[in-house]
Structure 1
Amino acid sequence: MTIHLIKLCVGADRIDDLKSWQHTLLQRNKGTRLQGLVHHTTRMFPKRAEELKDGGSIYWVIAGQIQVRQPIVDLQEVTTNEGRKCRIVLEPGLILVNPTVKGPFQGWRYLKPEDAPGDLGSSAEGDDLPIRAELAELGLL
């Protein structure tokens, strides 16, 4: 059974901030064993790893709303100078979802498929639309 993760995109005010951060990560990883991988590292390793790898996505909360998602490719245990961590390997590119208000929380949480916002049907490769959240609140998206 598939399960998803929901995670605050700390420091991002717009979708373009996340895209820029991931682009920088890809550039920094050139010539390393992580070349071509988009990933996010977190302290805790999910206990439901197999369910996440079975079609799960990470849903990013940006500016108080779930705005985009990325399919999860793999979960890898890594050791850093701070101890063991989990590297969440993601498909590159962001998929726009119906903006959904989400209050603050720490770390990540599991998200049931039936609770996940639906895709908007296009990729977030184009321009960020800051007004999108306002349109959604008005019921126009």
Structure 2
Amino acid sequence: MTLHLIKLCVGVESIAEVVEWIAEDLARQRALGLEPEDTHTTRMVPKRIPELLDGGSLYWVIKGQVQARQRLRDLRPVVGADGIQRCRIVFDPEVIPTEWQPKRPFQGWRYLEPKDAPRDLAALGGGPNDDMPDALKAELAELGLL
């Protein structure tokens, strides 16, 4: 059964910034002769890895709103230079915009059941809100109107 993760995307202002950061990181890896992978390392290792890798995604909270997701490719336990075990999350580099959904701040990541995950915007056929300013989208989402 599929399960997702949700995590804050700290210091990021928009989906476009996430996409740009990924492109720059993958280009840097290629320039170093590495096999490029989009990854993020987090402190805790999920216990439900098989469910997460059964079609799961990580949903990104940007500026207080779930705005996008990335498909999970792998979850690798790693040990940092400080000897602390962490989890390297490997993503499909495609960032998929979702419906906006308000989310209060939290630390680390959380599991997200599929029934609670926002729908992909592409599945909704885009819509009249595509060129709406982000501040207005956030306000409407907070009110449950978007």
Give TM-score scaled by structure 1 length.
Answer: 0.85
Whole-Å separation in 2 of the counterparts to 1:36 and 1:13: 24
Whole-Å separation in 1 of the counterparts to 2:138 and 2:105: 17
Q: Deviations over 1:50-75 (max 9, x none)?
A: 10000000000000000000010111
Whole-Å separation in 2 of the counterparts to 1:117 and 1:132: 14
Alignment map for 1:1-141 (pairs within 5 Å): 1-30=1-30, 35-83=35-83, 84-121=85-122, 130=134, 131-134=136-139, 136=141, 141=146
Please, what is the CA RMSD of the aligned residues?
A: 2.4
Whole-Å separation in 2 of the counterparts to 1:105 and 1:40: 17
1:139 to partner: Cα distance: 6.5
| Number of residue pairs matched by the alignment | 138
Secondary structure of residue in 2 paired with 1:119: coil
Whole-Å separation in 2 of the counterparts to 1:30 and 1:58: 24
Cα distance, 1:3–1:128 mapped onto 2, change above 3 Å: farther
Q: Identity percentage over the alignment? A: 53
Q: Which structure shows the higher helix fraction?
A: 2
Q: Which structure shows the higher strand fraction?
A: 1
Structure 1, 36-45 or 128-137: larger mean CA deviation: 128-137
| Contact 1:14–1:62 (CA under 8 A) maintained in structure 2 | yes
Whole-Å separation in 2 of the counterparts to 1:31 and 1:20: 16
Cα distance, 1:108–1:139 mapped onto 2, change above 3 Å: closer
Whole-Å separation in 1 of the counterparts to 2:95 and 2:28: 19
Secondary structure of residue in 2 paired with 1:41: strand
Structure 1, 11-20 or 46-55: larger mean CA deviation: 11-20
Matched residue type, 2:108: G
Unmatched runs of 5 consecutive residues or more in structure 1: none
Q: Kindly name which structure, 1 or 2, has the bigger radius of gyration based on alpha carbons.
A: 2
1:136 to partner: Cα distance: 4.4
| Contact 1:14–1:128 (CA under 8 A) maintained in structure 2 | no
Structure 1, 76-85 or 46-55: larger mean CA deviation: 76-85
| Contact 2:40–2:89 (CA under 8 A) maintained in structure 1 | yes
Cα distance, 1:87–1:135 mapped onto 2, change above 3 Å: same
Moved over 6 A (4+): none
